Amino acid sequence: MSESPTLGADVLADTVTQTHAVLHARMRSAEASRPTRERPRAALSAADPFLASTSRHVAAANAVLAPAARRRLDRGQHRARELALQSRRLEVALAQVKAKLYGSTFVVRRPWAGIWEEVERELAATRALELRLVDDLAAASSPEECGRLAERLYRTERRVPTRPHPYLPHHGLSGRLARRVALQVDRFWDTAEGRMVPEPVRPRRGRDGRIAQYLLADPHITG
């Protein structure tokens, strides 16, 4: 059976859309969680999956979508740089969450409401920027190329840093080397802390099936 002419583009768009839906849900769960006497680490346990999955996705987007934009889009270098700058803003916000959770003196007086407001704003801006990139890449690429980008995004997301690193390079050779070093450091601390790192959203060939799974809260959905 021949593949639909827009299927690859749909897979890429759905992967990015669904990933951000999962990230947003995890953000809300982390935001609502508060430590109690019985569960003093409740806030940390709720925030860790959000921080890990968001950090991974940001790194993967810069490793996969940014190079594709540079190669295939008009003003591609500018678009890649725009993604890097927005990623840095989101990672700074994520780092504030991490610092607050661990009692850093730099944010001890900053209220949680302000921190989460910044995170939500930067996550929404990142989502909008990525979706514009995906739309433009779909217009400039074949469906097969878009399908391969979606699969590469998923595979890359499984082997990039799990913590925010806003001040490391985000693209080019220096970005690749920085991610490689940061990944090894993050893996060490994840193991030492027994930290849970969720599986990324996996691309599925079938536009309706993936969204339906999410909306129906399918327990088998990969998140």
Checking if the pLDDT of 48 tops 50, the result is yes
User: Would you state the pLDDT for residue 139?
Assistant: 95
Lowest-pLDDT range of 17-26, 41-50, 136-145: 41-50
- Reported as a single tens digit per residue, the pLDDT across 110-163 is 999 999 999 999 999 999 999 999 999 999 999 999 999 999 999 999 999 999
The reported pTM is 0.85
Asked if residues 48 and 55 have their Cβ atoms less than 8 Å apart, the reply is: no
- Reported as a single tens digit per residue, the pLDDT across 203-218 is 886 554 444 444 434 4
Tell me the torsion sign for CA atoms 93, 94, 97, 101: negative
The CA-based diameter of the chain, rounded to the nearest angstrom, is: 61
Tokens of 139: 């217009």
CA dihedral 47, 53, 55, 60 (to 10 degrees): 180
Q: What is the C-alpha to C-alpha distance for residues 196 and 51, in angstroms, rounded to an integer?
A: 10
CB-CB neighbours of 151 under 10 Å: 17
Q: Quick one: which H or E segment has residue 5?
A: none
Burial of 45 (0-12, 13-18, 19+ CB in 10 A): middle
